[in-house]
Structure 1
Amino acid sequence: MSGISARDAEPVAIIAGNGRLPLYVAEAAREAGTPAFIVQLRGEGGNDWSDFEHMDADLGGFRPVVAALQKRGIRRVVLSGGVRSRPELTSLRPTARVIWSLPAILKKLRSGGDDKVLRMVIDLFERHGFEIIAAQNIAGDLLATAGTLGAVALDREARADIDAAARAARVIGSMDIGQGAVSLGGRVVALEGAEGTDQMLERVRAMREAGRISQKRRGVLVKLCKPQQDLRADLPSIGPETVRAAAAAGLGGIAVEAGRALVLDRAEAIAEADRAGLFLLGLEPDTAMKPVL
């Protein structure tokens, strides 16, 4: 697998969406001796880039991004962080190389799920000679490890909920809808859509308060890669905010796929989970990839 080593001083561009992941990747690159140039997508910020060379770009502004990278001799690109919005037609600035593909690009932007859009972005960069590097190739310590991550163990009921939520997550993932599902008492009660994980958990909290779901059984959140997902972009991720949202929803734990999910602010996330009595679990790949019955 191609990536970046501590001896590699060739610069890398980080296309930064929202969340803290882009900052972690940039800091990891710097620690490895790799200069990082940040392309912050407008409207998706939140991180302080004053210590890094950076530029702002519209989501549809591909041409100025390519020019900036070529000017700096950058060949490798990392896609990092979430993207909440899709570009408007008037903001698209394609290069001459891809202008004839504009109708297909517009179709994917308007109707495609996140996976299709990310694949399109990867393809656009590769057409211009760039190499896409996975975030985990730079910040590998963010990858979830197998087994229980904190002090809280899971029980038999939680295992049944993990199985149910994992099957549901795989189904919606194969349809390019989302990566997460919540099961409670062996029943899937929420599926992640375009709104994201935190908003899904807010729905679970509201349903519990309204008596729509049991207030005694806790339930589990499972997040998995989509079966067809390109692992170079948009791995499932959790962090302290996810743990707090799960606790507010009354859940008993969170499970992600070991080696194919990211745990941000790991020490803080584990501490939050321990305080709330939630388990954090890295699923073995063969467990996470059980066939759908």
Structure 2
Amino acid sequence: MSPNPRRPGSAVTEDARPLGVIAGAGRLPVVLARVDHDARPLAVVSISNDPQPELRAAADVFRHLSVGKIHEMLGVFHDAGATELVILGAVDKGVLFRPKQLDWLALKILAQAKTRGSQSLFHAIADEFEARGFTVADQRTYLPPLVANAGALTRRRLGRAGRRDAEYALRLAREVARLDIGQTVAVKDGTPVAVEAMEGTDAAIRRAADLAGGGIVVAKATRPDHDFRFDVPTVGLDTLGVLVEVEASALVVEANRTFVLDRDELRERADANGLAILAAT
């Protein structure tokens, strides 16, 4: 399992249990690894196609597994003594269409889910994990500095028409999320242009721009009963780069329900490109 030496200053009391981390793609797992958790050790299972070396170096126990190998994954955490888990990073949902890559426990969870929408799958996973003695933590518990507070995140303010588009886009995004379809909607001049499904936020933004050109307003939202143990909508420099590329007008996210990565650099780049970003309640 590739146990690593303790990090400097990471003396652990005898009753300290490792935090189990299911690490998908993207920056969030690495950000977690950088945070001081009072010397709590980390047992990491990476399910990303390209595990990040920094994450491997920070972990006390590290394994790289396919996203569909859930039984083996829980075995790693059991052997490490971890009972609390946190799931961070993007997960390849395409595995749902590749059943040969799913182990028997993944197939069991899939059969128990009411639908194959994200929230239904997440609840089925949580039920199975809890039945096996594991708890899954709200991601915001371990990354509070990333949570967006209400208000403008950039200097630019929207005019009356822009505010109308932002309010409308957010309302639509919340409804799309409630239906467990996706989280992102793009609007231009009061017209819905694109709705995210399985392709992801960045692809939906590009599709909207292909249809409507520049000036789109993008909203990203969650359903009212969203389960933050499995997913916190996240915006960062990658999404900003796409918004700038397509000459979007604004991005609106939900306050207290969204992670913002690299906030200072995000603000600086958005301001330089005349993009408004706001966190709404």
- Using structure 1 for the length normalisation, give the TM-score: 0.83
**Cα distance between partner residues in 1 of 2:231 and 2:53:** 18
Aligned with 2:95: secondary structure?
Answer: coil
| Post-superposition offset of 1:35 | 1.4
Mapping for residues 1-293 of structure 1, pairs under 5 Å: 9-28=16-35, 30-43=36-49, 45-46=51-52, 48=54, 49-52=56-59, 53-84=61-92, 85-86=94-95, 88-94=98-104, 102=108, 105-106=110-111, 108=113, 112-207=116-211, 213=212, 218-284=215-281
Aligned with 1:86: secondary structure?
Answer: helix
**Cα distance between partner residues in 1 of 2:124 and 2:279:** 30
1:55-111 per-position Cα deviation (integer Å, ceiling 9, x unaligned) = 11121212222221111111100011111232533333345xx9xx82x624749x6
**What is the aligned partner in structure 1 of residue 8 from structure 2?**
none
| Structure 2: gaps spanning 5 or more residues | 1-12
**Cα distance between partner residues in 1 of 2:260 and 2:235:** 5
**Cα distance between partner residues in 2 of 1:142 and 1:272:** 18
**Cα distance between partner residues in 2 of 1:124 and 1:94:** 13
Percent identity (aligned) = 28
| Post-superposition offset of 1:226 | 2.0
Is the Cα–Cα contact under 8 Å of residues 205 and 248 in structure 1 kept in the other structure? no
1:181-234 per-position Cα deviation (integer Å, ceiling 9, x unaligned) = 111111111111100010011112322xxxxx365xx23111111233212221
**Cα distance between partner residues in 1 of 2:51 and 2:187:** 32
* 1:219–1:89 CA distance, 2 compared to 1 (3 A): closer
Aligned partner of 1:22: which letter?
P
* 1:44–1:255 CA distance, 2 compared to 1 (3 A): farther
- Using structure 2 for the length normalisation, give the TM-score: 0.86
| Post-superposition offset of 1:32 | 3.7
| Structure 1: gaps spanning 5 or more residues | 1-6, 208-212, 285-293
Aligned with 1:260: secondary structure?
Answer: coil
Question: After TM superposition, what 4+ stretches of structure 1 lie above 4 angstroms from structure 2?
Answer: none
**Cα distance between partner residues in 2 of 1:127 and 1:94:** 16
**What is the aligned partner in structure 2 of residue 287 from structure 1?**
none
Aligned with 2:57: secondary structure?
Answer: coil
